[in-house]
Amino acid sequence: MQFSWRSIRHSLEYHAVRGALWLAGRLPIEAGQRIGAMMGCLGFDVVRARREVSIANIEASLGVSRRDATKIARASYANWGRCVMEFSAFAHLTKAEMLDLVAVEGLEHFDRVRAEGKGGVVISGHLGNWELIPATLSALGRPIHGLIGQQSNTRVDDVMNDLRRRQGIPLITKSVALRKVLQVLKAGEFVVMLADQDARKGGVFVEFLGRPASTVRGPALFAIRSRCPILPTSVARAGTRHRLIIEAPLYSATIENEDEQVRDLTQRYTDRLAAHIRQRPQEYFWPHRRWKTKPSQTAQQQPITRSP
Protein backbone atom coordinates (compact mmCIF):
# COMPACT_ATOMS: atom_id res chain seq x y z
CA MET A 1 0.00 0.00 0.00
CA GLN A 2 1.36 3.41 -0.97
CA PHE A 3 1.02 6.47 1.20
CA SER A 4 1.31 10.11 0.17
CA TRP A 5 1.88 13.15 2.32
CA ARG A 6 -1.65 14.22 1.41
CA SER A 7 -3.19 10.98 2.70
CA ILE A 8 -1.10 11.17 5.89
CA ARG A 9 -2.16 14.77 6.46
CA HIS A 10 -5.82 13.92 5.87
CA SER A 11 -5.58 11.03 8.31
CA LEU A 12 -4.03 13.28 10.96
CA GLU A 13 -6.72 15.92 10.39
CA TYR A 14 -9.48 13.34 10.72
CA HIS A 15 -8.13 11.90 13.97
CA ALA A 16 -7.59 15.42 15.33
CA VAL A 17 -11.24 16.28 14.66
CA ARG A 18 -12.43 13.01 16.19
CA GLY A 19 -10.21 13.69 19.22
CA ALA A 20 -11.62 17.21 19.60
CA LEU A 21 -15.14 15.79 19.38
CA TRP A 22 -14.38 13.23 22.09
CA LEU A 23 -12.71 15.78 24.35
CA ALA A 24 -15.39 18.44 23.90
CA GLY A 25 -18.02 16.02 25.18
CA ARG A 26 -16.15 15.51 28.44
CA LEU A 27 -15.24 19.07 29.36
CA PRO A 28 -17.16 22.18 30.41
CA ILE A 29 -17.33 24.44 27.40
CA GLU A 30 -15.13 27.07 29.08
CA ALA A 31 -12.36 24.50 29.52
CA GLY A 32 -12.76 23.44 25.89
CA GLN A 33 -12.40 27.06 24.81
CA ARG A 34 -9.15 27.43 26.76
CA ILE A 35 -7.74 24.24 25.25
CA GLY A 36 -8.85 25.36 21.79
CA ALA A 37 -7.10 28.71 22.22
CA MET A 38 -3.89 26.90 23.16
CA MET A 39 -4.25 24.66 20.09
CA GLY A 40 -4.65 27.72 17.88
CA CYS A 41 -1.58 29.44 19.36
CA LEU A 42 0.40 26.23 18.88
CA GLY A 43 -0.61 26.25 15.22
CA PHE A 44 0.61 29.84 14.91
CA ASP A 45 3.83 29.56 16.91
CA VAL A 46 5.01 26.07 16.02
CA VAL A 47 3.20 24.67 12.98
CA ARG A 48 3.14 28.15 11.42
CA ALA A 49 0.54 27.13 8.85
CA ARG A 50 -0.19 30.18 6.62
CA ARG A 51 1.28 32.42 9.30
CA GLU A 52 2.89 34.77 6.77
CA VAL A 53 -0.27 34.89 4.65
CA SER A 54 -2.26 35.96 7.71
CA ILE A 55 0.21 38.64 8.78
CA ALA A 56 0.44 40.06 5.25
CA ASN A 57 -3.37 40.13 4.92
CA ILE A 58 -3.70 42.05 8.18
CA GLU A 59 -0.95 44.54 7.34
CA ALA A 60 -2.52 45.33 3.97
CA SER A 61 -6.12 45.38 5.21
CA LEU A 62 -5.76 47.33 8.44
CA GLY A 63 -2.67 49.45 7.77
CA VAL A 64 -0.96 48.33 10.98
CA SER A 65 2.68 47.53 11.70
CA ARG A 66 4.03 44.02 11.31
CA ARG A 67 4.32 43.76 15.09
CA ASP A 68 0.64 44.61 15.60
CA ALA A 69 -0.37 42.42 12.67
CA THR A 70 1.46 39.48 14.25
CA LYS A 71 -0.40 40.00 17.54
CA ILE A 72 -3.75 40.13 15.73
CA ALA A 73 -2.89 37.05 13.68
CA ARG A 74 -1.94 35.04 16.77
CA ALA A 75 -5.21 36.04 18.47
CA SER A 76 -7.05 35.03 15.28
CA TYR A 77 -5.53 31.55 15.44
CA ALA A 78 -6.56 31.31 19.11
CA ASN A 79 -10.10 32.23 18.05
CA TRP A 80 -10.04 29.50 15.39
CA GLY A 81 -8.97 26.96 18.03
CA ARG A 82 -11.85 28.00 20.26
CA CYS A 83 -14.22 27.60 17.32
CA VAL A 84 -12.99 24.04 16.71
CA MET A 85 -13.70 23.01 20.29
CA GLU A 86 -17.05 24.80 20.38
CA PHE A 87 -18.10 23.24 17.11
CA SER A 88 -17.12 19.82 18.45
CA ALA A 89 -19.25 20.48 21.54
CA PHE A 90 -22.38 21.07 19.43
CA ALA A 91 -23.04 17.33 19.30
CA HIS A 92 -23.42 17.29 23.07
CA LEU A 93 -25.55 20.44 23.54
CA THR A 94 -29.31 20.59 23.88
CA LYS A 95 -31.22 23.43 22.23
CA ALA A 96 -31.58 25.12 25.61
CA GLU A 97 -27.83 24.89 26.19
CA MET A 98 -27.16 26.28 22.73
CA LEU A 99 -29.41 29.27 23.37
CA ASP A 100 -27.77 29.84 26.76
CA LEU A 101 -24.46 30.15 24.92
CA VAL A 102 -25.66 32.84 22.47
CA ALA A 103 -27.46 36.17 22.94
CA VAL A 104 -29.35 37.17 19.79
CA GLU A 105 -29.63 40.79 18.64
CA GLY A 106 -31.86 41.85 15.75
CA LEU A 107 -34.05 38.75 15.56
CA GLU A 108 -36.92 41.12 14.76
CA HIS A 109 -35.34 41.75 11.33
CA PHE A 110 -35.44 38.04 10.56
CA ASP A 111 -39.00 37.66 11.83
CA ARG A 112 -40.26 40.71 9.95
CA VAL A 113 -39.03 39.31 6.65
CA ARG A 114 -40.55 35.95 7.52
CA ALA A 115 -43.89 37.56 8.43
CA GLU A 116 -43.95 39.17 4.98
CA GLY A 117 -43.93 35.66 3.53
CA LYS A 118 -40.47 36.06 2.06
CA GLY A 119 -37.40 33.92 2.39
CA GLY A 120 -33.99 35.43 2.86
CA VAL A 121 -30.27 34.94 2.29
CA VAL A 122 -28.46 35.10 5.63
CA ILE A 123 -24.94 36.29 4.80
CA SER A 124 -21.86 36.14 6.96
CA GLY A 125 -18.12 35.51 6.84
CA HIS A 126 -15.48 33.64 8.80
CA LEU A 127 -15.81 35.94 11.81
CA GLY A 128 -16.29 34.93 15.44
CA ASN A 129 -17.75 31.44 15.52
CA TRP A 130 -19.70 31.48 12.26
CA GLU A 131 -21.03 27.94 12.80
CA LEU A 132 -23.26 29.33 15.57
CA ILE A 133 -25.42 31.22 13.06
CA PRO A 134 -27.44 28.31 11.61
CA ALA A 135 -27.20 26.33 14.87
CA THR A 136 -28.73 29.17 16.89
CA LEU A 137 -31.45 30.00 14.38
CA SER A 138 -32.35 26.31 14.18
CA ALA A 139 -32.53 26.11 17.99
CA LEU A 140 -34.91 29.10 17.89
CA GLY A 141 -37.19 27.18 15.55
CA ARG A 142 -36.54 29.35 12.49
CA PRO A 143 -36.62 27.69 9.03
CA ILE A 144 -32.93 27.74 8.18
CA HIS A 145 -30.79 25.80 5.70
CA GLY A 146 -27.02 25.81 5.32
CA LEU A 147 -25.26 26.09 1.96
CA ILE A 148 -21.98 24.23 2.36
CA GLY A 149 -18.86 23.70 0.32
CA GLN A 150 -16.87 20.48 0.38
CA GLN A 151 -13.63 20.07 2.28
CA SER A 152 -10.77 18.43 0.42
CA ASN A 153 -10.63 15.96 3.30
CA THR A 154 -13.86 14.01 2.77
CA ARG A 155 -13.66 12.17 6.10
CA VAL A 156 -13.43 15.45 8.01
CA ASP A 157 -16.20 16.84 5.80
CA ASP A 158 -18.50 13.97 6.78
CA VAL A 159 -17.86 14.51 10.49
CA MET A 160 -18.54 18.25 10.24
CA ASN A 161 -21.75 17.79 8.29
CA ASP A 162 -22.97 15.17 10.74
CA LEU A 163 -22.50 17.70 13.56
CA ARG A 164 -24.51 20.28 11.62
CA ARG A 165 -27.34 17.83 10.96
CA ARG A 166 -27.51 16.96 14.66
CA GLN A 167 -28.43 20.60 15.26
CA GLY A 168 -31.38 20.21 12.90
CA ILE A 169 -29.81 22.12 10.02
CA PRO A 170 -30.79 20.85 6.52
CA LEU A 171 -27.74 21.10 4.29
CA ILE A 172 -27.52 22.17 0.65
CA THR A 173 -24.43 21.15 -1.28
CA LYS A 174 -23.01 23.29 -4.05
CA SER A 175 -23.74 20.58 -6.61
CA VAL A 176 -27.51 21.25 -6.28
CA ALA A 177 -27.31 24.81 -4.95
CA LEU A 178 -28.95 26.67 -7.85
CA ARG A 179 -32.14 24.62 -7.90
CA LYS A 180 -32.40 23.91 -4.17
CA VAL A 181 -31.65 27.41 -2.87
CA LEU A 182 -34.22 29.01 -5.17
CA GLN A 183 -36.75 26.40 -4.07
CA VAL A 184 -36.08 27.12 -0.38
CA LEU A 185 -36.31 30.89 -0.82
CA LYS A 186 -39.53 30.73 -2.81
CA ALA A 187 -41.00 28.61 0.01
CA GLY A 188 -40.37 31.50 2.42
CA GLU A 189 -37.44 29.87 4.16
CA PHE A 190 -33.86 31.03 4.73
CA VAL A 191 -30.37 29.96 3.66
CA VAL A 192 -27.11 30.74 5.46
CA MET A 193 -24.09 31.40 3.23
CA LEU A 194 -20.51 32.52 3.86
CA ALA A 195 -19.35 34.97 1.23
CA ASP A 196 -15.82 36.02 2.04
CA GLN A 197 -13.56 33.65 0.11
CA ASP A 198 -11.81 34.23 -3.19
CA ALA A 199 -14.26 33.47 -6.01
CA ARG A 200 -11.53 33.30 -8.66
CA LYS A 201 -12.36 34.26 -12.24
CA GLY A 202 -16.09 33.71 -11.85
CA GLY A 203 -16.55 36.30 -9.11
CA VAL A 204 -17.58 39.92 -9.11
CA PHE A 205 -15.00 42.44 -7.92
CA VAL A 206 -15.99 44.65 -5.02
CA GLU A 207 -13.95 46.50 -2.44
CA PHE A 208 -13.20 44.49 0.69
CA LEU A 209 -11.08 46.07 3.41
CA GLY A 210 -9.66 48.58 0.98
CA ARG A 211 -8.77 46.27 -1.91
CA PRO A 212 -10.65 44.74 -4.85
CA ALA A 213 -11.65 41.17 -4.05
CA SER A 214 -13.27 38.57 -6.29
CA THR A 215 -16.51 37.72 -4.49
CA VAL A 216 -19.14 35.06 -5.14
CA ARG A 217 -22.12 36.18 -7.21
CA GLY A 218 -24.50 33.57 -5.83
CA PRO A 219 -25.93 35.34 -2.75
CA ALA A 220 -26.90 38.47 -4.67
CA LEU A 221 -28.23 36.48 -7.63
CA PHE A 222 -30.38 34.30 -5.38
CA ALA A 223 -31.80 37.36 -3.64
CA ILE A 224 -32.49 39.24 -6.88
CA ARG A 225 -34.12 36.34 -8.69
CA SER A 226 -36.20 35.34 -5.65
CA ARG A 227 -37.08 38.96 -4.85
CA CYS A 228 -36.02 38.43 -1.26
CA PRO A 229 -33.55 40.34 0.94
CA ILE A 230 -30.09 39.63 2.22
CA LEU A 231 -29.68 39.70 5.99
CA PRO A 232 -26.08 40.52 6.99
CA THR A 233 -25.23 38.55 10.11
CA SER A 234 -22.17 38.08 12.30
CA VAL A 235 -21.07 36.50 15.57
CA ALA A 236 -19.06 38.35 18.22
CA ARG A 237 -17.41 36.88 21.27
CA ALA A 238 -18.59 38.11 24.68
CA GLY A 239 -16.26 36.42 27.14
CA THR A 240 -17.09 32.72 27.07
CA ARG A 241 -20.42 33.44 25.39
CA HIS A 242 -21.41 34.94 22.03
CA ARG A 243 -23.58 37.62 20.43
CA LEU A 244 -25.38 36.76 17.19
CA ILE A 245 -26.03 40.04 15.39
CA ILE A 246 -28.69 40.13 12.67
CA GLU A 247 -28.75 43.43 10.79
CA ALA A 248 -31.51 45.16 8.86
CA PRO A 249 -32.26 43.48 5.51
CA LEU A 250 -30.71 44.68 2.26
CA TYR A 251 -32.84 44.69 -0.89
CA SER A 252 -31.56 44.93 -4.45
CA ALA A 253 -31.54 48.37 -6.01
CA THR A 254 -33.76 49.30 -8.92
CA ILE A 255 -31.19 48.84 -11.66
CA GLU A 256 -32.11 47.42 -15.04
CA ASN A 257 -28.81 45.65 -15.61
CA GLU A 258 -28.61 42.48 -13.49
CA ASP A 259 -24.81 42.50 -13.38
CA GLU A 260 -24.89 45.98 -11.87
CA GLN A 261 -27.54 44.85 -9.39
CA VAL A 262 -25.28 42.00 -8.34
CA ARG A 263 -22.28 44.29 -7.90
CA ASP A 264 -24.25 46.85 -5.92
CA LEU A 265 -25.85 44.33 -3.54
CA THR A 266 -22.60 42.40 -3.11
CA GLN A 267 -20.74 45.60 -2.25
CA ARG A 268 -23.33 46.59 0.33
CA TYR A 269 -23.27 43.34 2.27
CA THR A 270 -19.48 43.16 1.95
CA ASP A 271 -19.27 46.62 3.52
CA ARG A 272 -21.28 45.38 6.50
CA LEU A 273 -18.92 42.46 7.03
CA ALA A 274 -15.83 44.66 6.66
CA ALA A 275 -17.12 47.04 9.34
CA HIS A 276 -17.41 44.18 11.83
CA ILE A 277 -13.95 42.87 10.95
CA ARG A 278 -12.41 46.27 11.60
CA GLN A 279 -14.08 46.32 15.02
CA ARG A 280 -12.72 42.90 16.05
CA PRO A 281 -9.99 41.78 13.64
CA GLN A 282 -8.70 39.24 16.17
CA GLU A 283 -11.86 37.20 15.54
CA TYR A 284 -11.50 37.03 11.77
CA PHE A 285 -10.00 34.07 9.88
CA TRP A 286 -7.06 35.68 8.08
CA PRO A 287 -5.18 32.66 6.60
CA HIS A 288 -7.36 32.53 3.49
CA ARG A 289 -5.81 33.99 0.34
CA ARG A 290 -8.77 36.33 -0.07
CA TRP A 291 -7.18 38.70 -2.60
CA LYS A 292 -5.41 36.08 -4.69
CA THR A 293 -7.39 36.77 -7.89
CA LYS A 294 -6.60 40.15 -9.43
CA PRO A 295 -8.95 42.22 -11.62
CA SER A 296 -6.46 42.00 -14.48
CA GLN A 297 -6.87 38.21 -14.50
CA THR A 298 -10.52 38.41 -15.51
CA ALA A 299 -12.75 40.07 -18.02
CA GLN A 300 -14.97 41.40 -15.22
CA GLN A 301 -15.77 45.05 -14.79
CA GLN A 302 -13.54 47.22 -12.63
CA PRO A 303 -14.24 47.12 -8.89
CA ILE A 304 -16.57 49.61 -7.32
CA THR A 305 -14.54 52.45 -5.80
CA ARG A 306 -15.41 53.74 -2.36
CA SER A 307 -14.76 57.15 -0.93
CA PRO A 308 -12.53 57.23 2.18
Rounded-to-integer distance, Cα 95 and Cα 169, Å:
12
pLDDT computed for residue 263 by the predictor: 97
**What are the structural domain ranges in the chain?**
5-297
Q: Is the pLDDT of residue 285 over 90?
A: yes
pLDDT band with cut points at 50, 70 and 90 for residue 300 = very low
pLDDT band with cut points at 50, 70 and 90 for residue 297 = low
Residue 165 · residue 223 · CB < 8 Å: no
Average pLDDT, stretch 273-296?
96
The residue that leads in pLDDT, 139 or 178, is 139
pLDDT band with cut points at 50, 70 and 90 for residue 235 = very high
Amino acid residing at 238 = A
Rounded-to-integer distance, Cα 132 and Cα 99, Å:
10
Q: Is the pLDDT of residue 240 over 60?
A: yes
pLDDT computed for residue 32 by the predictor: 92
pLDDT band with cut points at 50, 70 and 90 for residue 14 = confident
pLDDT band with cut points at 50, 70 and 90 for residue 303 = very low
pLDDT computed for residue 155 by the predictor: 79
pLDDT computed for residue 298 by the predictor: 59
Average pLDDT, stretch 120-141?
97
Range picked from 4-8, 172-176, 256-260 for highest mean pLDDT = 256-260
Rounded-to-integer distance, Cα 180 and Cα 13, Å:
31
Q: What is the pLDDT of residues 32-86, one digit of tens each?
A: 999 999 999 999 999 998 999 999 999 999 999 999 999 999 999 999 999 999 9
Tell me the three-class secondary structure of the chain, residue by residue: CCCCHHHHHHHHHHHHHHHHHHHHCCCCHHHHHHHHHHHHHHHHHHHCCCHHHHHHHHHHHHCCCHHHHHHHHHHHHHHHHHHHHHHHHHHHCCHHHHHHHEEEECHHHHHHHHHCCCCEEEEECCECCCCHHHHHHHHCCCCEEEEECCCCCHHHHHHHHHHHHHCCCCEEEHHHHHHHHHHHHHCCCEEEEECCCCCHHHCEEEEECCEEEEECCHHHHHHHHHCCCEEEEEEEEECCEEEEEECCCECCCCCCCHHHHHHHHHHHHHHHHHHHHHHCHHHECCCCCCCCCCHHHCCCCCCCCCCC
Q: Is the pLDDT of residue 1 over 60?
A: no
CA angle in degrees (0–180, nearest 5) for 238-240-241 = 55
pLDDT band with cut points at 50, 70 and 90 for residue 105 = very high
Q: Is the pLDDT of residue 13 over 90?
A: no
Rounded-to-integer distance, Cα 52 and Cα 105, Å:
35
Rounded-to-integer distance, Cα 189 and Cα 250, Å:
16
